[in-house]
Amino acid sequence: MIYLDHAAATPVSKKVLEAMEPYFLHDFFNPSAAYLPAKKVNANYEAAKGTIAHAIGAKASDLIITAGATEANNLAFTSIDCVDSRQSLSGQSIKSVLYLETEHDSVRRVAEQYGGEAIRVLPNGLIDLNDFKDKLTDDVELVSVALANNELGTIQPLAEIAAIIREAKLDRLKRGIKTQLLLHSDASQALNLLDINVARLGIDLLTINSAKVYGPKGVGALYVSHEARLKPLTLGGGQENGFRSGTENVPGVIGFAKALEIAKKHLTSNRKKYTTWRKILLAELQGYELVNKKHMLDNFIVLCYNGIDAERLIFLLEEKQVYVSTGAACAASKGVRSHVLKAIGLTDEQIAGSLRISLGETNDESQIHEVARIMNEVVATERKRLENNE
Amino acid sequence: MSKTKVFVGMSGGVDSSVSAMLLKEQGYDVVGVYMKNWSQDLPGMKCPWAEDLADAKRVAVRLGIDFEVWDFENEYREKVVEYMLREFKAGNTPNPDIMCNQEIKFKLFYERAMKQGADFIATGHYARVGESNPSTLEPTRPPVFTGGSFSDGELRRPGHVRESDRLDSPALLRAVDENKDQTYFLYRISNEALVHTIFPIGEMTKPEVKKLAEENSLHNAYKRESMGVCFVGEVGMKDFLKEYIDIQPGEIREIESGEILGYHEGTVFYTIGQRHGLYLNGEKGKVNDGLPYYIVKKDMKNNIIYVSKDLNNENLWVNELELRDVFLRTNSAFDSCLVRMRHRAPLIPARFDGKKLTFANEIKRPASGQSAVLYNEKECLGGGIIA
């Protein structure tokens, strides 16, 4: 098997699994219980949260553990509910949310509920800063821009966006306008590939996810700065500082922390490795057009085979145990054309011909050569079939 | 000279997958088509259309055939769903699959395929096409090109279909696998479509089809069969209807005593003969004596459902059935036939005068709106909707 879809899911690494195991079998106690073994579990849980927070330059108390990135994204948007809901004269709530048009559905769907407006991207996938500035009116309370896009791997200039927001805030204060203005970013795809520091980036809310960094699925977190206030989505025992009730997922958090520890350690060497493999692959593959040329994560390659239906390639590659995707796994299963590829100006035909390859820890260099060979072969077969049809 | 072109409807299920494979093996120029008839999720029910589509496409790619998605959602809603809702509201129990075959698969799909250059369409139904010939009733299939010669032995160039290959008055014949025969759902399809239809697995049994799928590692051999309003099975029908029809609480009365035994959510959601899903008062010894109550009568006007424990209740049994919207597949007159009231139900002998069915013995009354489908030994003669 050659797995090239690390942007969709990553296997749990052995060390992570080993770290988690005791918390299923022996240290299973409810962290809120009174007896000593439970207190110990609680301490380890908090320490693990500290490790996770540390990886993004934050403190354990800044984190709310969730069941993944989708929940964290949903929770981030409750920051709008916490301020007085203002109504326009017509009784409709004021549009107060901006989001990048290439955001993942777990941001788009929520933003739409809040009457959100989309910020355009340029053909290179980067945020159109002029469009952003135009749309950043005094009503805007929250701006959501993913650190790295999940279909293209495009890295957005968050520091620059944060600077614009800081300026706007200042200007609002000068004019006596009290409306809050927060910056949220979904960093799920970038967590193990970029050095992230929330303070340096100037972010108020940051979504992170264990499942994309060789940790267990169903664990994520939302970083919340002191600027932002949230409204809990679940009520109950008051865990996670009251913002996310429910017994703590101790093994999940322990595993997430371990995965991040490992990711941090290998960040630089992994980036180099992926860059090399990417070069090899792009050199050995034939007859494609590269879609994401610049400003992308090192492990993302988006190719377009003109005139070919990439979905057919997926099934042909599947027969050879090579696994790639056409885009976001959730979008693919709904059978809809990628809104991301459309946003960067690809034609329907180009979108249909696009494949996403995301490299990762299950790969080695020999696989990269092997994949290039198999893909060339499969594409040639498909082209020949199409010619015979003519 | 191009090969004979066949558009095959592919649902992602094993039957249509094997059908496509057989056509390809037999040398046809095959195009797989996924008909997108419904994609909407309902509360608590996820429509699996995207998965079905992916499964169908995977098979098409494995077979190396072209694959297209044809969107009939608007037409399906208009012709099938609206018909269904209309019938339910009138107190009937319609069969959406029959309507889907009549209006979508063997009409819109057929017409579009022909427009795109098809010689034939094909589906994974268990049914056969033959020449209408009451004396022999042996099926004659369109000749098949098997690399060099046609299956009827004559040497011709592939792709050349003679006019005489087209049957003038085609007969819809029951499948070889009596247990799987699906002609019940097909009795209303047009002759024009039927002449141009191939049922590749009509001569096979289900186990044979499954085996073939496994041998050829058609990935979806494990899959459940595709259902009517795709994901709405019989169990889901009430939930489906509730999306469109408001609940309207009403009384459930015992037909013999007139006594109120409980309450229901609206007469339209219930079917004559039904005995599940009734909210009855649990008065000991009366309702809960272990014997089920059956719905024997629906008073649509007053929104009352009548039930009875008496399996011999006169409302449950008939020896005559009036049919409406009769659709006959044969020109030859007949006055006796075999009747099937449900898919896979036994064939019952009856007399037919063109409108009314008469049975020798009383039968359990089928729900109005269901179809009674008529047969002789092997052939589907048509049918009608039970009034």
Is A196 inside any structural domain? Answer: yes
How deeply is B112 buried, as exposed, middle or buried, from its count of CB atoms within 10 A (0-12, 13-18, 19+)?
middle
B267-276, pLDDT tens digit by residue?
Answer: 999 888 887 7
pLDDT of residue A306: 92
Q: B189 pLDDT exceeds 50?
A: yes
What are the chain B neighbours of A333 within 8 Å (beta carbons)? 50-51, 54
* Average pLDDT value for chain B: 84
ipTM (interface predicted TM): 0.84
Task: Tell me which residue in B51, B64, B67 faces A333 most closely, judged by beta carbons.
Answer: B51
Which two structure tokens, joined as six digits, stand for B195?
A: 């002449």
Query: With bands split at pLDDT 50, 70 and 90, how would you rate the model's confidence at B160?
Result: very low
In a domain, A390, yes or no: no
My answer on whether A208 and A311 are in the same domain is no
Mean pLDDT, to the nearest integer, of B183-195? 96
pLDDT score for B139: 42
What pTM does this model have?
0.86
| pLDDT for residue B242 | 87
Size of interface A-B (CB pairs under 8 A): 22
Last residue of one domain, picked from the residues A234, A261, A288: A261
End-to-end CA distance of chain B: 51
Instruction: Assess B41–A contact: CB distance below 8 Å, yes or no.
Output: no
B285 Rama class: left (phi>0) / alpha (psi -120 to 50) / beta: left
Mean pLDDT, to the nearest integer, of B241-258? 90
Is A333 within 8 Å of B50 when comparing Cβ atoms?
yes
pLDDT digits (tens, 9 = 90+) for B311-367: 888 888 899 999 999 999 988 888 999 999 999 999 999 999 999 999 999 998 899
Decide if B185 touches A, using CB distance below 8 A: no
- Residue A335 has its nearest CB partner, among B53, B61, B67, at B53
Q: Does residue B286 surpass a pLDDT of 80?
A: no
**B58 vs A315: CB contact, 8 Å cut-off?**
yes
Amino acid letter for position B28: Y
Compare all CA atoms of chain A with the CA of B65 and give the residue at the minimum distance.
A385
User: Residues of B with CB below 8 A from A319's CB?
Assistant: 62
Say whether both A150 and A222 belong to one domain: yes
Q: Which backbone phi and psi does A28 adopt, to 5 degrees?
A: -90, 5
Q: Helix or strand or coil: residue A279?
A: helix
Cβ within 8 Å, pair A333-B57 = no
In this predicted structure, the answer to whether residue A308 has a pLDDT above a threshold of 80 is yes
Nearest to B62 among A311, A315, A335 (CB): A315
The helix (H) or strand (E) run that includes residue B349 is strand B348-352
Q: What is the pLDDT of residue A81?
A: 77
CA B178 to CA B378: how far, in whole Å?
10
- Regarding whether A301 and A235 lie in a shared domain, the answer is no
Give the minimum alpha-carbon distance from B9 to chain A in angstroms, rounded to a whole number: 18
CB contact under 8 A, A318 and B50: no
Cβ of B51 and A385 within 8 Å? no
pLDDT score, position B386: 96
User: How many percent of chain A have pLDDT more than 90?
Assistant: 86
- Which of B58, B73, B116 should we substitute to test contact with A (largest number of A Cβ atoms within 10 Å)? B58
**Looking at the 3D structure of chain A, how many domains does it have?**
2
The verdict on A235 and A338 lying in the same domain is no
pLDDT at A213: 97
How far is Cα A112 from Cα A108, in angstroms, rounded to an integer?
6
CA closest to A315 among chain B residues: B58
Q: How far is A311 from chain B, CA to nearest CA, in Å?
A: 8
Cβ of B66 and A315 within 8 Å? Answer: no
Query: Smallest CA–CA separation between B114 and chain A, in Å?
Result: 18
B34 touches chain A (CB under 8 A): no
The yes-or-no verdict on residue A90 having pLDDT over 80 is: no
CB contact under 8 A, B58 and A318: yes
Spatial neighbors of B116 by CB under 8 A, at least 6 apart, are B7, B31
Which contacts of B94-99 are long-range, i.e. CB under 8 A and separated by 24 or more positions? B94/B369, B94/B370, B95/B185, B95/B228, B95/B369, B95/B370, B95/B371, B96/B228, B96/B229, B97/B185, B97/B228, B98/B184, B98/B185, B98/B186, B98/B187, B98/B188, B98/B371, B99/B188
**Residue A309 Cα, gap to closest chain B Cα (Å):** 10
Nearest to A58 by CA among A176, A182, A225, A202: A225
Domain range enclosing A197: 14-261
User: pLDDT tens, A102-141?
Assistant: 999 999 999 998 889 999 999 999 999 999 999 999 999 9
Residue A194 has pLDDT above 80, yes or no: yes
Tokens of B232: 């709405």
Query: Is B62 in CB contact (< 8 Å) with chain A?
Result: yes
The verdict on residue A388 lying in a domain is no
Assign residue A123 the CATH number of its domain: 3.40.640.10
Q: Both A286 and A345 in a single domain?
A: yes
Q: Which residues of A are catalytic?
A: 330
Topology, domain B5-222: Rossmann fold (3.40.50)
Give yes or no: residues A311 and A328 share one domain: yes
Residue B36: pLDDT above 80? Answer: yes
Mean pLDDT in residue range B284-310: 81
Question: Is A189 found in the same domain as A88?
Answer: yes
Report which of B81, B74, B72, B80 is spatially closest to residue B33, judged by C-alpha positions: B72
Low-confidence winner among A137-151, A219-233, B154-168, B293-307 (lowest mean pLDDT): B154-168
Q: Decide which of A150 and B310 is more confident.
A: A150
Report the pLDDT value the prediction gives residue A343, as an integer from 0 to 100.
93
Nearest CA in chain A to B52: A333
**Strand A63-66's sheet: what is its strand order?**
A63-66, A220-224, A205-209, A182-186, A142-144, A97-100, A117-119
What pLDDT shows up at residue B284? Answer: 42
B7 backbone dihedrals φ, ψ, rounded to 5°: -100, 120
Q: Do the chains contact at B57 and A334, CB–CB below 8 Å? A: no
Q: Are both A203 and A230 inside the same structural domain? A: yes
**pLDDT bracket for residue B38 (50, 70, 90):** confident
Which residues of B participate in catalysis according to the annotation? 100, 230
- Best B61, B62, B69, B116 member to test A by mutation, with max A CBs in 10 Å, is B61
Contacts of B39 in chain A (CB under 8 A): 335
For residue A389, being part of any structural domain is answered with no
Q: What is the pLDDT of residue B155?
A: 39
Residue B240 is predicted with a pLDDT of 84
Q: Identify the band that residue A366 occupies on the pLDDT scale cut at 50, 70 and 90.
A: very high
Instruction: Give CA–CA dist B271/B91, Å, rounded.
Output: 8
CB contact under 8 A, B51 and A389: no
Q: Which of A319, A335, A385 sits opposite B62 (nearest CB)?
A: A319
Whether residue A333 sits in one domain with residue A251: no
A205 and A293 both lie in a single domain: no
Q: Are residues A378 and A285 in the same domain?
A: yes
Tokens of A307: 């005139």
What residue segments make up the domains of chain B, in order of their start? 5-222, 246-308, 315-386
- Do the chains contact at A335 and B67, CB–CB below 8 Å? no
Tell if the CB–CB gap between B61 and A316 is shorter than 8 Å. yes
Q: Are A250 and A289 within one domain?
A: no
- Is B277 or A168 the better-scoring residue by pLDDT? A168
Fold of B315-386: Elongation Factor Tu (Ef-tu); domain 3 (2.40.30)
C-alpha dist (Å) from residue A307 to A124, B32, B69, B80: 22, 19, 17, 36
Q: Which of A261, A292, A313 is the last residue of a domain?
A: A261
Mean pLDDT to the nearest integer, A261-270: 96
CA distance, residue B51 to nearest chain A CA (Å):
7
Contact B343, B70 (CB under 8 A): no
**What residue of B is the nearest CA neighbor of A390?**
B2
Task: Tell me the residues of chain B between 63 and 92 that have a Cβ less than 8 Å away from chain A.
Answer: 64, 66-67
Q: Which of A210, A243, A261 is the last residue of a domain?
A: A261
Q: What is the CATH number of domain B246-308?
A: 2.30.30.280
Nearest residue in B to A381, CA atom: B64
Is the pLDDT reported for residue A319 higher than 90?
yes
CATH label of the domain that carries residue A287: 3.90.1150.10
The per-residue pLDDT for B168 is 61
